[in-house]
């Protein structure tokens, strides 16, 4: 139970074909803080409107569509990728999917996952 999420690399592709749209996997950090986990995902250029998240079969899919700043003129040096972001995480069964909260701030999505009641340490009172 030491990790909240495991990246799902064995994601099924429809009929063995690659999906039409290509994505880049954003970098992520997972923190454990007492009774909750925090997942931070870096998605520069994504704002609240471009963010889609869903949980299905214990899998969390985060999709970020970028709204990049419009720059007129010609590009003379490029390092950034144009693709949107997508990453799938497998959730630990101890996570209560109904209580996930999320926010996005300067291109970083922060998700908070409270641990389900049964995994929290419980004090047993001796009577």
Partner 1 sequence: MSIIRYQAPDFSTLRSLDRWANLRDEINSLFEGPAWSNDTRQEQLFNGWLPALDLYQTNDDIVAVVELPGMRKEDIELSLHDGMLTIGGERKEEGAEGVKTARTERFVGKFRRSISLPTRVDASKVSANYKDGILSVTLPKAEEVKPKQIQVNVS
DSSP letter string over 42-70? E-TTEEEEEEEEEEETTEEEEEEEE-PPP
Tokens of 111: 């998700």
Contacts with partner 1 by CB under 8 A lie at: 2-5, 9, 16-18, 22, 27-34, 37, 40, 42-47, 67-69, 71-81, 105-108
Minimum distance from CB of 44 to partner 1 (Å)?
4
* Identity of the residue, 123 or 127, whose beta carbon is nearer to partner 1 in the bound complex: 123
Minimum distance from CB of 57 to partner 1 (Å)?
20
* Identity of the residue, 81 or 120, whose beta carbon is nearer to partner 1 in the bound complex: 81
* Non-local CB neighbours of 34 within 8 Å, separated by 6+ positions: none
The Cα–Cα gap between 84 and 74 comes to 22
The Cα–Cα gap between 81 and 23 comes to 9
* Identity of the residue, 93 or 125, whose beta carbon is nearer to partner 1 in the bound complex: 93
Minimum distance from CB of 62 to partner 1 (Å)?
14
């Amino acid at each position: 139970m030491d990790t909240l999420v495991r990246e799902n690399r064995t994601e099924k592709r429809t009929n063995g074909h690659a999906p039409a749209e290509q994505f880049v996997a954003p970098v992520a950090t997972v923190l454990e803080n007492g009774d909750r986990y925090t997942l931070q995902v870096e998605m520069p250029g994504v704002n609240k409107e471009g963010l889609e998240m869903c949980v299905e079969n214990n899998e969390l899919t985060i999709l970020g569509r970028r709204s990049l700043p419009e720059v007129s003129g010609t590009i003379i040096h490029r390092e950034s990728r144009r693709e949107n972001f997508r990453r799938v995480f497998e959730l630990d069964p101890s996570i209560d999917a109904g209580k996930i909260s999320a926010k996005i701030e300067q291109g970083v999505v922060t998700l908070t996952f409270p641990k389900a009641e049964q995994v929290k340490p419980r004090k047993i009172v001796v009577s």
